[in-house]
A = this chain, B = another copy of it.
Amino acid sequence: MYDLIIHNCHILTPSGDIQRNCDLLIDAGKIAAILPTGQADLGQAHELLEGREMLAMPGLINTHAHVPMVIFRGLAEDVAIERWFNEFMWPLESNLIEEDVYWGMLLGLVEMIEGGVTTVADHYFFMDQAARAVEQAGTRAALGWAVFGDRGYKALAETAAFVERWQGQAGGRITTWMAPHAPYTCDDDFLRATVAHAQRLGVGIHIHAAEELGQTQASLQKRGITPIRVLAETGVLNVPVIIAHGCGILPEDIELLKRAAGPVGVAHAPKTYLKLGMGLTPIPTLQEASIPVGLATDGAVSNNTLDIFESLRLMAMLQKHEARNPEVMTIRQALQMATRDSAAVVGLADKIGQLSPGCLADVILVDLSGAHHQPLHSLTASLVYNTRASDVQTVIVNGQLIMRDRQILTLDKAEIVRQVNRSMERLSQRVLGKRIQVYNP
């Protein structure tokens, strides 16, 4: 017997091809087999789901976000990055209380589930609340409690205690990371202490670094080395690392990243970079050095959504645009980034990001029957260039159905929206001089 059989869907294979008309057999949270439709005994299914020739693909992975920031979305538009931090984001975040993170995380998870995102690497505050929300939503997450150096070593130790409390919890769906904010807000000793915690706990570090070229230049001016070299010299690159953004990574940084002892991945959130005029992560250089680059949204105050299909499309199109060459970043390469590379970035290589027997059963069904996909000459072209988050019909994580025919089964969406709206006015206040941090890289 199998826990679940999806009958008659098309499959996106790990190599980026389409295998038409298959049955997907799921058992004990994993993919048990993929068989041509007709070969499986449907009577062996505890639960049978009609695939209706939808496209089954690995659940999408958001490799860097601040999910609960959805509660602030739309509040910081058309402003430069210094003002974005100092006059908007960090003053707004001084309004945060613990329950805001809980409801904000739930709201963001609703949005992501509806858009086919099954795993998120989240970097925020009050992360016990975020973990509770993930536990209830039924999704997968790599969670880190963000900390600034000026909060001190006791605060750092508390973020390490979060790592211990939640590592492997929620049936293995939650992994944890240390999450120092950035080299420009954490001094070298603080980063070294973070590395010590990570090594003691056997986890990685999720950190912003070289977010844009201005930060790299400021670091060079202030201390003569790039932010990536700071990571190397403080030992951060000796443990697994998620580097958020990296739009300011220089050619000279690549060798450091290649030599890193811990696996390094870079999270690429193109919508944020466009909106804040940050430039782009040097994807071709990183990929040439075999450093995986994954897709991300960043927080919804810059993005302003949590839509990985949009990130995928923007990433692919911007690579063609920047190179003035439509032949670069093919559909196959783009899908590889969205799936296997993104899995590697969040430390789950070969566990998620592909539909193969033995992998965790994180699967989404995408309906390509809408007018905007017709006629369907190429399923993979439609997946990259035509698919909207609203085309995702069904979401399965760890073998469990969490959305079916666009109805979320695990969360009460109306109640979540009501709770978030209750706090809108309080959350939107900005008080002169009241902020959680100063941006001065």
Cβ–Cβ contact B111 & A371, under 8 A: yes
Cβ–Cβ contact A78 & B305, under 8 A: no
- Copies of this chain, whole number: 2
Cβ–Cβ contact A317 & B375, under 8 A: no
> Contacts of A275 on B, CB cut-off 8 Å?
317, 320, 326, 385
Closest to A369 in B: B417
Interface core residue of A271, A318, A381 (most chain B CB under 10 Å): A381
Cβ of A255 under 8 Å from chain B: no
Cβ of A279 under 8 Å from chain B: yes
Which listed residue, B80, B303, B326, B389, touches A277 by the CB 8 Å rule?
Answer: B326
Cβ–Cβ contact B277 & A331, under 8 A: no
Which listed residue, B77, B389, B427, touches A331 by the CB 8 Å rule?
Answer: B77
> Contacts of A388 on B, CB cut-off 8 Å?
388-390
A233 shortest CB reach to chain B, Å: 29
State the main secondary structure of chain A at its contact with B.
helix
A273-B386 Cα distance, complex, nearest whole Å: 16
Cβ–Cβ contact A74 & B381, under 8 A: yes
Cβ of A125 under 8 Å from chain B: no
Which listed residue, B279, B304, B374, touches A324 by the CB 8 Å rule?
Answer: B279
Instruction: Please encode chain A, from 344 to 383, with 1 for each CB lying within 8 Å of some chain B CB and 0 for all others.
Output: 0000000000000000000000000111101111100110
Cβ–Cβ contact B372 & A111, under 8 A: yes
Cβ of A107 under 8 Å from chain B: yes
Cβ of A413 under 8 Å from chain B: yes
> Contacts of A304 on B, CB cut-off 8 Å?
381-382, 385-386
**CB contact under 8 A between A107 and B326, given known A305-B385, A378-B75, A382-B74:** no
Cβ–Cβ contact A378 & B74, under 8 A: yes
Cβ of A321 under 8 Å from chain B: yes
Cβ of A71 under 8 Å from chain B: yes
A75-B327 Cα distance, complex, nearest whole Å: 14
Cβ of A84 under 8 Å from chain B: yes
Closest to A420 in B: B375
A370-B1 Cα distance, complex, nearest whole Å: 38
8 A Cβ contacts from A45-79 to B: 70-75, 77-79
Cβ of A110 under 8 Å from chain B: yes
Which listed residue, B71, B327, B376, B377, touches A79 by the CB 8 Å rule?
Answer: B327
Size of the chain A interface, CB-CB below 8 angstroms: 64
Cβ–Cβ contact B326 & A421, under 8 A: no
Cβ–Cβ contact A70 & B111, under 8 A: no
**CB contact under 8 A between A389 and B372, given known A277-B320, A277-B325, A381-B304:** yes
Closest to A278 in B: B324
Cβ of A323 under 8 Å from chain B: yes
A54-B74 Cα distance, complex, nearest whole Å: 17
A77-B382 Cα distance, complex, nearest whole Å: 11
Cβ–Cβ contact B417 & A110, under 8 A: no
Cβ of A431 under 8 Å from chain B: no
Cβ of A261 under 8 Å from chain B: no
> Contacts of A77 on B, CB cut-off 8 Å?
330-331, 378, 381, 385
Cβ of A250 under 8 Å from chain B: no
Cβ of A81 under 8 Å from chain B: yes
Instruction: Please encode chain A, from 293 to 323, with 1 for each CB lying within 8 Å of some chain B CB and 0 for all others.
Output: 0000000000111110000000001101101
8 tightest CB-CB pairs across the interface, nearest first?
A74-B378, A274-B317, A74-B381, A390-B390, A74-B377, A304-B385, A111-B371, A277-B324
If A84-B326, A304-B386 are given as contacts, then 15 extra A-B residue pairs at C-beta distance below 8 Å, sorted by A number, are A73-B377, A73-B386, A78-B326, A78-B327, A114-B370, A275-B326, A277-B320, A277-B326, A304-B382, A305-B385, A306-B372, A371-B413, A372-B389, A375-B417, A377-B428
Jot down 19 A-B pairs with beta carbons below 8 A, ordered by A. Answer: A72-B377, A73-B377, A74-B378, A74-B386, A75-B377, A77-B330, A78-B331, A79-B327, A107-B374, A110-B371, A273-B321, A277-B321, A277-B324, A278-B324, A304-B381, A304-B385, A305-B385, A375-B417, A375-B421
